[in-house]
Structure formats: C-alpha cells, structure tokens
Amino acid sequence: MREITKLKQQVDGWEMLARRLHDAKELLELEDEGLAAELEDEVRQLGVAVHQLEFETLFSGKHDDSDVILAIHAGAGGTEAQDWAAMLLRMFTRWAESNGFKVEFLDESSGEEAGIKSVMLSIKGDYGYGRLRSERGVHRLVRISPYDSSSRRHTSFAKVEVWPDIAEEIDVQIEDKDLEIQRFKASGAGGQHVQKNETAVRIKHLPTGLVVSCQNQRSLTQNLDTAMNILKSQLFALAEEKQQAEIDALKGEDVDAGWGSQIRSYVLHPYKMVKDHRTKHETGNPSGVLDGDLDGFMEAYLKYSLDAVEGVTKD
C-alpha cells in the first residue's frame, strides 16, 4: 500500500503538470497583453515544477525512496576532526530541516573539548536515501584552525555512513550467539541528564565486527529494538556492497572504498571552494554548503550514478 501511494503521488504530479501546461498554452493563444504578467509567473513556476519532476526521475536505486540512517565519525586528529564532524552534523540537519525531513538522534558521543566523536541519526522524508546516498564516504576540511594558537592551516577528515532504513522490509537472520549486548546508562552531551537505569544499549555483531548503539528511547526494550533494526539494515547494506565489490573485481575495476579516499573537499583557506571528487561538481560558496545547500551535489551525484549504470549496461 505504501508503494501504491507513492506511485499514485508521482502520477498525480505529472498529470497536474500536464493540465497546467495545457492551461498556459490556452492563455498564450488568447494573445491578451493583460495576461502577460500572470502567464510569465506561471511559466516560471512550471519551470520549477518540471525541474523537480526531472530530479525525481534520477532516483533509480532500489531503495532510493526509503528513509535513511546516517552516521558521522570523526577521523584522526582529536579536537580538529571532532569539530569538523560537528560541522557536518549541522550541515545535514540544516539540509533536512529546510527540506521538511524529520530528524531523530539515535546515538551521540561528544568530543572531549569540542565537537563530536560520532553521531547516528534517523532521517525520514521523501527519497531520503536516494538523496543522501551521495554523502557516503570521507569528507575533508582544509581551514585555518580556530584551535591553533599559531593560526596554522589544518586538514581534518570525517567519515559519513548512510544506510536505507529498511529493517521492516528485509529478512536478515541474526543468531543470538553472534551478538554481544551491553547495557549502560544513557547520557546527553557532556554527561548531562544521566539516567539512573541502564536503558541504553550497545550491540556488537561478532562475525562482522559491526557495532550499533542506541540511547534515544526511554526504555531498554525500545533501544534494543531500534538497535536491532539498525543492525539489520547495516548487514543488508554490507551484503549488497560485498556483492557489488565482487562484480567490480570481475570487471577489473580498481575499487577503493577505504578511509583515505575522500569523496569531497571543503576548502576555507587559502581559497574558498567545495568540490566533489567523483562528479567534479564544485562551488565557491562553502558557507552556503555548510548551511545545508547540498541539492546541487546530490543532483550531480544522481546523474553521475545513472550514467555509470547506463555505461555498465551498454558494456
């Protein structure tokens, strides 16, 4: 029923656009100068609507219409990297809020002096995974450090992980013997609001080494259920990545998804630029990007991914 509803919304959108185009054509044929301003405004709005519908056609992935789980991990470098991770957290939450997405914090580990060591979010909205899968990978920041008394330039790294929130749709078998479950007291940033009971949970999947923590809910049972759902999504994504890696290896491609291969660079000094190293899309307005203006990078990545799929199909 959810799939039917989404498909109906898509069809309704195209049919409404067709009616508006027909009405605009009839207005144009009247050749009434008094309608010129109204027609010009409608043409502008139609252009925006057409671009939005064209953008939605780029969502070709199997789970692009799913909600998403996003995690950010500070790289090596202590306070510098942890502050960069916090900047990315702000960037993604600002993007989500401006696009009407619902954001829920699932787990957070604060830095010693500033920033965050890691954070995990649930982001719910139309085509959440399709939009945010462009952000998976290592993000690099180059700037004059506010934490360096000598005002030297520093390079910081943070890793972003993205999974489709599809635990309810998949059948992943997890054996109890493969799990190591720890309970602990939930706390907020800086150790605030420590609860008396051990309601937070940390699950380690022994065969893969995957670790999931959750402390946003008030009860141990709720946190355990949420953590298990996240683990299922991660295991499913891991299986898909392994399958794709095997296909790429057979094709003879050099696949490097390691920590050191940044997908995007954010340069604040000695010049200002944000550049995606996969799509080559770039902008000279890093402040806008860090305030959540990510749609240009997302659209460029969707086109890049679609071209790659079509290239493989042709080969």
Shared domain check, 17 and 152? no
In this model, does residue 255 exceed pLDDT 60? Answer: no
Q: How much is the pLDDT for 168? A: 66
What pLDDT was estimated at residue 238? 85
H helix runs in 153-219, sequence order: none
Residues 159, 132 share a domain: yes
Do residues 165 and 279 share a domain?
A: yes
Residue length, the chain? 315
Query: Is 63 inside any structural domain?
Result: no
For residue 192, give its domain range. 176-250
Instruction: State the Cα torsion 166-103-199-207 to the nearest 10°.
Output: 40
* 231 within 8 A of 205, measured Cβ to Cβ: yes
Same domain, 279 and 160: yes
pTM for this prediction: 0.74
Q: For the chain, percent helix, then strand, then coil, each to nearest 5?
A: 45, 25, 30
21-to-9, 30, 32, 45, 195 alpha-carbon distances in Å: 18, 15, 17, 11, 58
Q: Give the lowest-confidence range in 26-40, 134-148, 203-217, 287-301.
A: 26-40
Examine the domain organization and report whether 90 and 145 are in the same domain. yes
Are 51 and 87 part of one and the same domain?
no
Residue 51 — very low, low, confident or very high, per pLDDT cuts 50/70/90?
A: confident
Within-domain flag for 93:
yes
Share of the chain above pLDDT 90, in %: 48
CATH code for the domain in which residue 205 is found: 3.30.160.20
Q: Are residues 116 and 228 in the same domain?
A: no
Report the DSSP beta bridge partners of residue 213: 202
Within a domain: 255: no
* Residue 166 covered by a domain: yes
H-helix or E-strand containing 164? strand 153-164
Does position 268 have pLDDT exceeding 90, yes or no?
Answer: yes
**What total of structural domains would you count in the chain?**
3
What pLDDT does 250 receive? 45
Is the pLDDT score of 127 beyond 80?
yes
- Do 132 and 281 belong together in one domain? yes
Q: Do the domain assignments include residue 37?
A: yes
Say if 300 falls within a structural domain. yes
Is pLDDT above 80 for 157?
A: yes
What pLDDT score does 311 carry?
56
| 91 and 232 co-located in one domain | no
Q: Work out the pLDDT band at 259, boundaries 50, 70, 90.
A: low
Q: Domain containing 288 — which CATH number? A: 3.30.70.1660
Please check the confidence at residue 256 and state whether its pLDDT lies above 80: no
CA dihedral 268, 128, 238, 185 (to 10 degrees): 80
Residue closest to 36 by CA, chosen among 170, 44, 12, 223? 44
